[in-house]
Chains A and B, each alone.
Chain A
Amino acid sequence: MPPIRDKFTIHSKAIVCQDVELKGDITIGAGTIVHPKVTIFAIAGPIVIGSGCIIEEAAIIVNRRKEVMRIGDENLFEIGCRVECPSIGDYNTISTRARVHHTVRISSFCVIGAGCLVVPIEDEVLEDQTVVYGPSAERRIWSGNGKIQELDLRRKHAEYLKEMLPKFNRLRRGEGA
């Protein structure tokens, strides 16, 4: 395998803490917030993260495939989750300590519950508004109730972090900035 070349493109409006482990070709969009102790590994292909995402501490994002791993806008990755999906849409929540394998593609407005394991053997696409919950990773479709409130909360959360995180943490900047 060729050695991994590091190339980080971090938008000037993104907040990426210093204490973060990045490897490979990574692009981080505007307004995305990366807490300390996050790990993002682009082992084979590059990782592109959209705008307004929140990635909390000890989260792990890995791309083991050759193609680009695309993560959409305003996704929330909670504490200690591990994500290897080749594509993620917009407005999804991956809860605390959930694990999603590289065989799953996530659409939009999906929720993966706390501690859930989503590890199907064959390739699979989670359709819009899928909720995975419970110890045996059961599924159902969310009615969409409270969608506006949820999005509002996420936006305010990102706004708050944008203001507070730089006061207590050192930030990392993209190359050349």
Chain B
Amino acid sequence: MDSPIYYAKSEFIETDTGNKVSRRATIAGPQNIILGGKTIISSGAIIRGDLRRTGPGHAVVISLGRYCLVGEGCIMRPPYKTYRGNFNYYPMKIGDHVHIGAGTVVEAATIGNHVEIGKNCVIGKFTIIKDCAKIADNTIIPPNTVIPALALFSGSPGHFVEDLPESTQEMVEGHTKQYYMRFQPG
């Protein structure tokens, strides 16, 4: 196993389900955010759970699966549009084993399982990313893009580069689990 990544114990809050959330992250509207467990939210991240869909009752704005990583300085906010003349924000759903690199801005509608997103990317509004896709560093994905499964995207605007091997799922799963194991208080 690789060497552990140590963090200051006082900086992170650990929940019962093993989520580790930095105290230096800005989380608005936490009652509208669901973390699946064993998810890490790094310092400087901004997560906007306050931009919720109007209407009565409880609304989930952002849901993250298990073994996710939100990198340093990442901004996650739900996408908005007008539909039949009404303005609204729409929920963002992120699957399991998703790593998002530092400084990336995410306004996607759906991100599947086992997705890797690089550093300093911009993921446009209502983007749909399917399972096991990969986005290279510094990529700009325009709004409403659909990224197919097992595809590598890069560039500005982001475009298809190559197919990823079928072993991607196991590779990413192993990588994300190992990252969580390595991330220890020091």
Contact = CB atoms under 8 A, between A and B. Distances in A.
A96 B28 contact: no
B75 A167 contact: no
B137 interface: no
Interface in B1-58: 26, 28-29, 46, 48-52, 54
Interface in A1-52: 19, 36-37
A118 B82 CA distance: 30
Given A114-B124, A160-B54, A164-B50, A58 B75 contact: yes
Contacts of A171: none
Contacts of B46: 36-37, 57-58
Interface residues on B, range: 20 to 34
Contacts of A115: 122, 140, 156
B50 A168 contact: yes
Contacts of B50: 164-165, 167-169
Contacts of A147: none
Nearest to A163: B54
A156 interface: yes
A160 B53 CA distance: 10
B87 interface: yes
A169 to B, nearest CB: 6
Contact of A19 (B26, B29, B107): B26
Given A114-B122, A156-B82, A79 B105 contact: yes
Contacts of A156: 82, 86-87
A114 B124 CA distance: 9
B77 interface: yes
Contact of A168 (B28, B80, B122, B155): B28
Interface of A: 19, 36-37, 56-58, 79-80, 96-97, 114-115, 134-135, 152-153, 156-157, 159-160, 164-165, 167-169
Given A19-B26, A114-B124, 4 more contacts: A58-B75, A153-B82, A157-B87, A160-B88
Interface of B: 26, 28-29, 46, 48-52, 54, 75, 77, 80-82, 86-89, 105, 107, 122, 124, 140, 142, 155-157
11 contacts: A36-B28, A57-B75, A58-B75, A96-B105, A114-B156, A115-B122, A134-B157, A156-B87, A160-B88, A165-B50, A168-B49
